[in-house]
Amino acid sequence: MEDYSGVLIRSEHLTIRYPRATAPAVENVSLEVLRGDRLLLLGPSGCGKSTLLFAMAGVIPAHVSATIDGSLVRSAGRIAVVLQNPEAQMIAPTVELELAFSLENSGLPAAQMTERIDHALDDFGIRDLRHRSPSTLSGGECQKVSLAAAVAGGPEILFLDEPTAFLDPRSTRSFFTLLQRVDRSITIVMVEHKIEFVRNFVDRYARMDKPNGSDSSIVETGLVSDSRTADTLTPHYWFTGFEERLEEPRSVFPASMSTAPLLEIDSLHHVYPPATVALHDVSLSVYPGETVVVMGPNGSGKSTLLDRIAALSDGGGKAARNLDGMRIVAGKRRRAASIRIRGRDVRRIPGHTLYSLLYLIPQNPEHLFLTDTLAEELSVQGSDGTAIAEVTERFRLAGLESRNPYSLSEGEKRRLNLCCAQLDPRDLLLLDEPTYGLDASAIASLVDLLVLFRRAGRTLVIVTHSPELAHLVADRLIILDRGTVRFAGPPGELLLSPDPSLREFLPHWSNVQAPVSREEGSEA
Amino acid sequence: MTGLLARFSPVAHLAAVLAWIVPVFLSFDPGTPLLFLALSVAVVFILGQVRVTRFAGFVLPLLVLPFGLFVLNLLFTDTRGHSGSFIVLGLSMNSYALHRAIVLSLRSEALVVISVSYLIVVDPLSLVNGLMQQLGLSPRVGFSIYVAWNTIPRMRTDVTRIRSIHRIRLRGRDRRFADIVPTAVTLLAGAIRHAQRAAISMAVRGLDSGSPRTYLNEARWHSRDTVYLLANLAVTAGLFCLSVGEGWFVFGLG
């Protein structure tokens, strides 16, 4: 523990209420943040962690309307906030100007700004991004830039609101490694669900919850070093019951199958102009009733693979640019790639036939929405009232029928997407990053629904970054890296794999996924 | 900006271009628009050093507007009280309608060319930077423009993606016009949320702190900008005087 020399934030009996909300978002919270603190706010989704963080940062009520009762005193002057969504906090036209933004706002002379920016670019290893436009950065790069920009401003307190929610495991690990480099003199308050990464970084935690249905408040605080906190800071805490889910019987494909594959991909290549190889000689068969999960770091070609299956890219004038299986790979001519569903080439099936065979749930759940209410969304496919009532009950959407789909929570939007897919069953269901932006409890809820799909014999191809989801629902796991297949087999085989580079695809309960250590962070 | 124009402030060039537009907008004769059209083309090629093919690529598709105005005015002008006529390809045309069609199409053509000649040489982000530092545009507005600019490529991709996903959901049925509203709503919902987050991001990073703002890339107004602007105003006044002196200039708005 560090030697604290003062209280930077003190809240006493703090209650925060949003306009038109029936219950307060946060009730009767008393908490102190000390100088040099590294404090974690944790708790289930919707318990008011981000609200409390924003109030401490002064965002509420200055920029987000809410009423605050009780006392909240902040003695720190300079603050910085890193938000959840990496893209949304990029403001300036270049990375350099992004780092300069808060320095410009504080009136720093240009020469000093350059010095600080140089320092931050070097500290966070992003000098090569200096003149890039933020719109060309990956999510992980955006968050590195956001962190560098926040620290470049020389804050006394840094607030982080689930900064890795939209990042894949590799980028998350990289982000926490960078976070270790932040000077200890900067106090850090963060909301984060990825306990396995954060527990080696923070000193103290405050757990929020709604005990017995009461209003949300802090129910427990403690030191991370205290052995009695082990249960609270275990990832299992947020993923209860995973052992039972793992016991679900899995099918072994293709050995147990006597039928032909539903989906066959043969020697697939994809190149984005001018010469970025997204997929390289990918071959894969998916059998009826099978659940195949595709994992891999950002840019490994996962989403491109789904797009190709759904015939959303390629074709027409773009085909030549895709160099589809003909001209790449050290100049060798290869046989033309093919993607077949029920033995028919997807490029040659008319749209209405192809899309009677497959359904795609996109990464952004709102992209599927067509109407103004949840009830209308569920009626789009012409399902009868009984079927709709049954699925809304099963997918825990009952009572929300009159709500606008855009007003639902992220977890509810995902469940609505699955509801629509359930009401319009097709041979093949493709899911692109269904856990994107969801917290651990929402992921757990989603896993249960996907298990239902698997039990019902639906054929699923799921692209995800979540090792937990993959290991709980997959019959077969495919790991892509730089467009090539690095692993293909049942999830259990991955647990036994001696290849250390595959560790990031293991779930937290495997106990072999080395979290970021303080030493690793300080050395890096 | 491009070529020799890069030496000058985009704000100075904007003021010059606005000065060219005023006489064109007020004229109802073929000579005045042609003079300023020629001036803008000369500036874009000589000072801006823009390639002809690039310029043509921008301008030619937009010429459909003046052409449309020409046809509309030729065919549908109220010619009561104007009896002069002539024959073209066996069709009787009214002389007044032809004059009006030529004047209005040339005026719109000049406005198109002048606008394109500005847009093609100016980096929009430098312009916003110049407007914030030299004309006192609010940084909140300026940085909001940056955010919108960063969002445009994403929105373009989103439109295509949303329509494809709707098509899959509707079993290959392409609803075309019926899909415009749901697509727009989805885009708008995303854009509003993005704007809210960006506004919070700006606020927590001190945009509204009230202290005097400095800039990493200072865009100072130099004496050469003043000279450039004054020279342009002088040329504009000279061309306008030429048009009036030669009896070309006729005032008219419609």
CA distances to A175, A316, A339, A365 from A310, rounded to whole Å, are: 33, 15, 10, 17
What is the structure's pLDDT at A406?
Answer: 92
**Pairwise CA distance, residues A77 & B31, whole Å:** 64
Of A277-286, B101-110, B130-139, the one with minimum mean pLDDT is A277-286
| Chain B interface includes A97 (CB < 8 A) | yes
* Position B81 confidence tier, pLDDT thresholds 50, 70, 90: confident
What is the structure's pLDDT at A94?
Answer: 92
Q: Please judge whether B205 and A358 are an interchain contact, meaning their C-beta atoms are less than 8 angstroms apart.
A: no
Half-sphere exposure of A341 (CA within 13 A, CB side): 24
* Residues linked to residue A16 through DSSP beta bridges, in sequence order: A26, A68
What is the structure's pLDDT at A315?
Answer: 36
Name the closest residue on chain B to residue A382, using Cα atoms: B170
* Position A444 confidence tier, pLDDT thresholds 50, 70, 90: confident
Tokens of B208: 């509204």
Helix axes B31-42, B10-26, angle to 10 degrees: 160
A·B CB contacts under 8 A: 147
What is the structure's pLDDT at A336?
Answer: 64
What is the structure's pLDDT at A239?
Answer: 58
Q: Which of residues 408-467 of A touch B (CB under 8 A)?
A: 420, 424
Residue B234: CB atoms within 10 A of its CB come to 10
Mean pLDDT over B10-19 rounds to 96
Are the CB atoms for B233 and B20 separated by under 8 Å? no
Stated as kind and residue range, the H or E segment containing B87 is strand B85-88
- Return the residue in B157, B165, B170, B192 with the most chain A beta carbons within 10 A, the one to mutate for interface testing: B165
Sign of CA dihedral A319, A322, A324, A329: positive
| Edge-to-edge strands, sheet with A7-17 | A26-34, A7-17, A67-74
First to last CA, chain B: 34
| Chain A interface includes B194 (CB < 8 A) | yes
* Position A13 confidence tier, pLDDT thresholds 50, 70, 90: very high
Closest by CA to B24, choosing from B41, B11, B37, is: B37
ipTM reported for the complex, 2 dp: 0.82
What is the structure's pLDDT at A290?
Answer: 92
Of the partner residues B139, B197, B205, the one whose CB lies closest to the CB of residue A85: B197
Q: Please judge whether B209 and A106 are an interchain contact, meaning their C-beta atoms are less than 8 angstroms apart.
A: yes
Using a pLDDT cut of 70, give the percent of chain A over it.
Answer: 86
* Position B215 confidence tier, pLDDT thresholds 50, 70, 90: very high
Report whether pLDDT(B52) > 60: yes
* Residues linked to residue A228 through DSSP beta bridges, in sequence order: none
What is the structure's pLDDT at B29?
Answer: 95
| Edge-to-edge strands, sheet with A338-341 | A276-286, A263-272, A338-341, A344-345
Of A235-244, A260-269, A332-341, the one with minimum mean pLDDT is A235-244
Residue A437: CB atoms within 10 A of its CB come to 18
Of the partner residues A62, A107, A358, the one whose CB lies closest to the CB of residue B214: A107
Of A229-243, A406-420, B171-185, the one with minimum mean pLDDT is A229-243
Of the partner residues A105, A350, A420, the one whose CB lies closest to the CB of residue B206: A105
Q: Please judge whether A370 and B209 are an interchain contact, meaning their C-beta atoms are less than 8 angstroms apart.
A: no
Find chain B residues with C-beta within 8 A of A97's C-beta.
216-217
Residue A215: CB atoms within 10 A of its CB come to 16
Tokens of A479: 């790991």
Q: Please judge whether B149 and A93 are an interchain contact, meaning their C-beta atoms are less than 8 angstroms apart.
A: yes
Find chain A residues with C-beta within 8 A of B182's C-beta.
369-371
**Tell me: the pLDDT tens digits for B141-155?**
999 999 988 888 888
Q: Please judge whether B201 and A80 are an interchain contact, meaning their C-beta atoms are less than 8 angstroms apart.
A: no
Report whether pLDDT(A435) > 80: yes
Are the CB atoms for A217 and A29 separated by under 8 Å? yes
Mean pLDDT over the full length of chain A: 84
Are the CB atoms for B126 and B133 separated by under 8 Å? no
Strands A7-17 and A67-74: antiparallel
Q: Which of residues 131-150 of A touch B (CB under 8 A)?
A: 133-135, 149
What is the structure's pLDDT at A272?
Answer: 80
Q: What is the DSSP letter of A9?
A: E
* Position A511 confidence tier, pLDDT thresholds 50, 70, 90: low
Report whether pLDDT(A105) > 60: yes
What size, in residues, is chain A? 524
3-state secondary structure B168-188: HHCCCCCCHHHHHHHHHHHHH
Q: Tell me how many degrees the CA angle A70-A75-A81 measures, rounded to the nearest 5.
A: 90
Of the partner residues A352, A360, A406, the one whose CB lies closest to the CB of residue B189: A406
Strands A204-209 and A38-42: parallel
Q: Which of residues 103-122 of B touch A (CB under 8 A)?
A: none
Find chain B residues with C-beta within 8 A of A85's C-beta.
197
Strands A67-74 and A157-161: unpaired
**Pairwise CA distance, residues B2 & B245, whole Å:** 34
- Return the residue in A160, A355, A367, A383 with the most chain B beta carbons within 10 A, the one to mutate for interface testing: A367
Report whether pLDDT(A4) > 60: no
| Chain B interface includes A285 (CB < 8 A) | no
Of the partner residues B143, B182, B212, the one whose CB lies closest to the CB of residue A91: B143
Strands A204-209 and A217-223: antiparallel
**Tell me: the pLDDT tens digits for A344-394?**
998 888 988 999 999 999 999 999 999 999 999 999 888 888 999 998 998
What is the structure's pLDDT at A276?
Answer: 78
Show the beta-strand stretches assigned E in A25-66.
26-34, 38-42
**Pairwise CA distance, residues A120 & A110, whole Å:** 15
Of the partner residues B146, B158, B203, the one whose CB lies closest to the CB of residue A92: B146
| Chain A interface includes B210 (CB < 8 A) | no
Residue linked to tokens 């823009």: B50
Mean pLDDT over the full length of chain B: 91
Q: Which of residues 12-51 of B touch A (CB under 8 A)?
A: none
Residue A427: CB atoms within 10 A of its CB come to 15
CB-based contacts of A509: which residues, under 8 Å, 6+ apart? Answer: A235, A236, A239, A242, A243
**Pairwise CA distance, residues B213 & B193, whole Å:** 27
Of A120-129, A327-336, B25-34, B155-164, the one with minimum mean pLDDT is A327-336
CB-based contacts of A24: which residues, under 8 Å, 6+ apart? Answer: A15, A16, A17, A215, A216
**Pairwise CA distance, residues A309 & A339, whole Å:** 7
| Chain B interface includes A90 (CB < 8 A) | yes
